[in-house]
């Protein structure tokens, strides 16, 4: 995967990062990410993945833009109200970085399509607002050996976990059952931006091969106290999702 002169200049600052370089940028360009949900998390995730030079984004959301979205869903603007979220985001990404291919899918992620969606990408990024869909994505990623970068937000708080099948716990190991679903989750405008930026950092690290992923701990962000906390997590032997898979399943020969 070659980089044009324009791309070399566009990504110059991150190419200069030790152990990143041109090879790392090529890896990004040859990779595809699924952004599941285009709300408070999915909008900045899409924006930063595109700015970083991901090769392709598959963006999925069935909803249309509403006025109440605009305090946190930063790729949706007043002129987009009533428009499909996938169309709104695709238009902004095309303006931000025309080198990135975007496939907008206006659909609901469910048991019938989740396997095919995950199969087509290299990594899945959680932009959802409900655990039912998160658990579907988690299970599909585990069964197919695909990384799943999870985040969730509430008020001024957030959490992050990177699921690496066969190498650490999955989301169901850490959160065994679906938490009660609030009709309207309270969210400060910037909280999803904080967690989305961390999600993208995890995705880029995984693709390029930098640093250590947040796969053995649940990272908790407390915006009230401006602190991060870590909870050590391990695979559960009784997990209904990943306990039936052995590590050997994911070893490439």
What tens digit of pLDDT does each residue of 110-162 get? 999 999 999 999 999 999 999 999 999 999 999 999 999 999 999 999 999 99
* Neighbouring C-alpha atoms within 13 Å toward the C-beta of 233: 28
In this model, does residue 253 exceed pLDDT 50? no
Helix/strand/coil for 35: strand
CB atoms within 10 A of CB 67: 10
The first and second tokens of residue 51, run together, are 């700015």
Q: What is the CATH number of the domain that holds 97?
A: 3.40.50.720
Cβ-contact 61, 117 below 8 angstroms? no
> Once rounded to an integer, what is the mean pLDDT over residues 158-180?
95
In this model, does residue 226 exceed pLDDT 80? yes
pLDDT band, very low/low/confident/very high, at 56 (cuts 50, 70, 90): very high
- Could you tell me which residue, 230 or 253, shows the higher pLDDT? 230
- What's the DSSP call for residue 178? P
Percent of the chain with pLDDT over 90: 92
* Res 245: pLDDT: 79
In this model, does residue 249 exceed pLDDT 80? no
The residue segments making up the domain with residue 98 are 31-250
Query: Cα–Cα distances in Å, from 235 out to 142, 209, 220, 239, 247?
Result: 12, 23, 19, 8, 11
* Res 1: pLDDT: 80
| Position 15 in a domain | no
* Euclidean distance between CA atoms 42 and 216, whole angstroms: 23
The count of structural domains within the chain is: 1
Return the HEC string of 122-163: CEEEECCCCHHHHHHHHHHHHHHCCCEEEEEEEECEEEEEEE
What's the pLDDT tens digit per position in 71-88? 999 999 999 999 999 999
CB atoms within 10 A of CB 202: 24
| Position 24 in a domain | no
| Position 25 in a domain | no
| DSSP track, 193-231 | HHHHHHHHHHHHHHHHT-S--S-SEEEEEETTTTEEEEE
| Position 22 in a domain | no
Helix/strand/coil for 57: strand
Q: Which of 60-69, 179-188, 240-249 has the highest mean pLDDT?
A: 60-69
Cβ-contact 40, 89 below 8 angstroms? no
| Position 203 in a domain | yes
| Position 13 in a domain | no
> Once rounded to an integer, what is the mean pLDDT over residues 230-237?
96
| Position 12 in a domain | no
| Position 165 in a domain | yes
**Exposed/middle/buried for 180, CB within 10 Å: 0-12, 13-18, 19+?**
exposed
Query: Partners of 153 in the beta sheet?
Result: 158
The first and second tokens of residue 84, run together, are 């499909």
Place of tokens 């995705």: 203
Cβ-contact 195, 143 below 8 angstroms? no
């Amino acid at each position: 995967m070659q980089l044009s002169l324009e791309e070399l200049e566009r990504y110059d600052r991150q190419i200069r990062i030790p152990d990143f370089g041109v090879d790392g940028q090529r890896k990004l360009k040859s990779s595809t990410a699924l952004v599941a949900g285009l709300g408070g998390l999915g909008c900045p995730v899409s924006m930063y993945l595109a700015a970083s030079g991901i090769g392709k984004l598959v963006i999925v959301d069935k909803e249309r833009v509403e006025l109440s979205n605009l305090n946190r869903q930063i790729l949706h603007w007043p002129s987009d109200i009533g428009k499909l979220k996938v169309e709104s985001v695709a238009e902004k990404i095309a303006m931000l970085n025309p080198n990135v291919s975007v496939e907008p899918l206006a659909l609901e992620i469910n048991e019938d399509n989740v396997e095919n969606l995950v199969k087509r990408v290299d990594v899945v990024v959680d932009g959802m607002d409900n655990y039912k869909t998160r658990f579907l994505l988690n299970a599909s990623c585990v069964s197919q050996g695909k990384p799943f970068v999870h985040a969730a937000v509430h008020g001024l708080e957030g959490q992050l976990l990177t699921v690496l099948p066969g190498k650490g716990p999955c989301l169901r190991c850490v959160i065994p059952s679906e938490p009660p679903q609030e009709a309207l989750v309270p969210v400060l405008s910037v909280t999803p931006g904080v967690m989305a930026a961390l999600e993208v950092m995890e995705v880029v690290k995984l693709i390029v091969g930098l640093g250590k992923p947040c796969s053995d701990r649940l990272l908790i962000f407390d915006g009230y106290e401006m602190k991060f906390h870590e909870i050590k997590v391990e695979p559960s032997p009784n997990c209904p999702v990943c306990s039936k898979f052995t590590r050997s399943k994911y070893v490439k020969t």
